[in-house]
């Protein structure tokens, strides 16, 4: 990565060697180098044995709505039971909000369940355009367009905008969708160490000196999904301005959570409207459904509608999803207490975890508990599951071995009694497995 003294060299698709979301399981599992049948059978047998033993808590079967508590069917016992949910991105509790559910029911009566085509042909309705206008207003942009998923949003804008001669500079903790987008776009790219502003400044300076007329985009996340920390957006915006670069902010975990009435991380950190050139967000976190969007200038959105293949050649999101997000925006506006309660709850849990001996820093609704390699993460996760706490264990290669973790996601609808119950379970099990001294 670093050659010619301290000057970084821009290489096509240069990628970090050890990144949490830039990996393939093929690089870590000893699968047979034979035919398809042997390859898939080997993995299937390994995975199913882990699942049957309770060592891999993937695809736990939830029997009801996503909420502060959920009902599951236990794979080991076959019994159904309630669990306290600390593993969902349903931050504001929209996935089971009565007004949002009613809006979806009403929408079906008016629009039916789908469009039956892509947005450029027969897949744009009055409801779709209403949502795009409201998303643009939320982000302080001129217009917005909607994609079928957040993953397709990142693949869409990168492959539409970035040409082989263009340069994308990105934080090493970026989402997997950005890495796949880079593989398709085949533009020049360079990563910088997570939130390392000195390194970003050096890369931008060296890049602009070598390519004074190049198109450059700096891509970061507002809230990082594994650590819950924020990008220093004012500093990044200043660096982009100084070196003539565009700024993309993937605010999947910030929209609805950060900023005035959920406007996002850029708003939370005091950036003016229009300071983010590409404002990306999703509907699969705060809004409790599926989909993604990009907000920006009118010219940019017009361009992406016709050059972004994941937009042009995907069926338009069904009216039910669009109505869900429109109603969610209404609730964000009319029930601001939810965002306040969310941060109160996150602050309360972080303080409680510190009190029982865990090193936790609060910046958003995501609270990671780093688990030392000396602690068996799967045993820890299984015991929490048995005690009734639903949270997500993140192990290598999704994170480096020394950064394995429990990823807690806090919700506005958690009561203090539920949070106290969760803290008591974590303390009890944490001492049992030597996570807590």
Is 225 one of the annotated active-site residues of the chain? yes
Is 11 one of the annotated active-site residues of the chain? no
From the candidates 285, 319, 385, 414, give the one annotated as an active-site residue: 285
Is 89 one of the annotated active-site residues of the chain? yes
From the candidates 88, 89, 195, 248, give the one annotated as an active-site residue: 89
From the candidates 175, 188, 268, 319, give the one annotated as an active-site residue: 175
CB 49 within 8 A of CB 63: no
Is 250 one of the annotated active-site residues of the chain? yes
From the candidates 67, 250, 277, 427, give the one annotated as an active-site residue: 250
From the candidates 221, 227, 251, 427, give the one annotated as an active-site residue: 221
Query: What are the distances in angstroms from CA 112 to CA 107, 236, 318, 339?
Result: 7, 44, 9, 32
Is 33 one of the annotated active-site residues of the chain? no
From the candidates 177, 219, 225, 308, give the one annotated as an active-site residue: 225
Is 253 one of the annotated active-site residues of the chain? yes
Is 96 one of the annotated active-site residues of the chain? no
From the candidates 19, 243, 253, 319, give the one annotated as an active-site residue: 253
Catalytic residues: 89, 175, 221, 225, 250, 253, 285
């Amino acid at each position: 990565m670093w050659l010619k003294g301290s000057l970084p060299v821009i290489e096509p698709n240069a990628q970090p060697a050890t990144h949490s979301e830039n990996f393939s399981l093929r690089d870590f599992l000893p699968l047979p180098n034979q035919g398809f049948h042997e390859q898939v059978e080997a993995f299937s047998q390994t995975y199913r044995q882990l699942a049957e033993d309770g060592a891999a808590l993937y695809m736990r079967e939830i029997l009801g709505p996503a909420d502060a508590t959920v009902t599951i069917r236990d794979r080991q016992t076959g019994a159904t039971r309630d669990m306290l949910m600390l593993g969902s991105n349903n931050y504001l509790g929209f996935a089971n909000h009565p007004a949002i559910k009613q809006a979806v029911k009403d929408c079906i009566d008016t629009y039916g369940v789908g469009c039956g085509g892509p947005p450029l042909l027969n897949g744009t309705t009055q409801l779709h355009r209403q949502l795009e206008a409201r998303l643009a207003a939320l982000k302080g942009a001129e217009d917005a367009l909607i994609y079928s998923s957040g993953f397709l949003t990142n693949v869409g804008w990168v492959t539409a905008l970035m040409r082989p001669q263009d340069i994308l500079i990105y934080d090493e903790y970026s989402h997997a969708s950005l890495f796949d987008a880079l593989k398709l776009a085949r533009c020049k790219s360079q990563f910088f160490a997570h939130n390392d502003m000195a390194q970003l400044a050096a890369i931008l300076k060296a890049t602009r000196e070598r390519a004074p007329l190049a198109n450059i985009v700096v891509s970061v996340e507002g809230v990082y999904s594994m650590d819950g920390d924020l990008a220093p957006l004012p500093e990044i915006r200043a660096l982009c301005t100084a070196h003539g670069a565009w700024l993309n902010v993937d605010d999947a975990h910030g929209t609805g959570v950060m900023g005035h009435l959920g406007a996002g991380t850029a708003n939370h950190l005091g950036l003016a409207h229009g300071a983010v050139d590409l404002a990306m967000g999703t509907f699969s976190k705060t809004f409790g459904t599926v989909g993604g969007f990009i907000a920006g200038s009118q010219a940019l959105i017009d361009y992406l509608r016709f050059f972004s293949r994941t937009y042009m050649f995907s069926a338009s999101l069904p009216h039910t999803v669009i109505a869900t997000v429109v109603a969610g925006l209404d609730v964000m506006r009319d029930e601001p207490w939810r965002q306040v309660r969310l941060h109160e709850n996150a602050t309360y849990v972080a303080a409680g975890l510190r009190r029982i001996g865990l090193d936790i820093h609060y910046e958003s609704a995501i609270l990671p508990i780093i688990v030392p390699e000396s602690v068996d993460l799967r045993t820890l996760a299984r015991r929490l599951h048995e005690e009734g706490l639903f949270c997500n264990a993140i192990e290598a290669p999704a994170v480096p071995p020394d950064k394995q973790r429990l990823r807690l996601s806090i919700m506005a609808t958690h009561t203090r009694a539920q949070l106290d119950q969760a803290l008591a379970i974590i303390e009890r099990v944490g001492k049992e497995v030597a996570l807590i001294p």
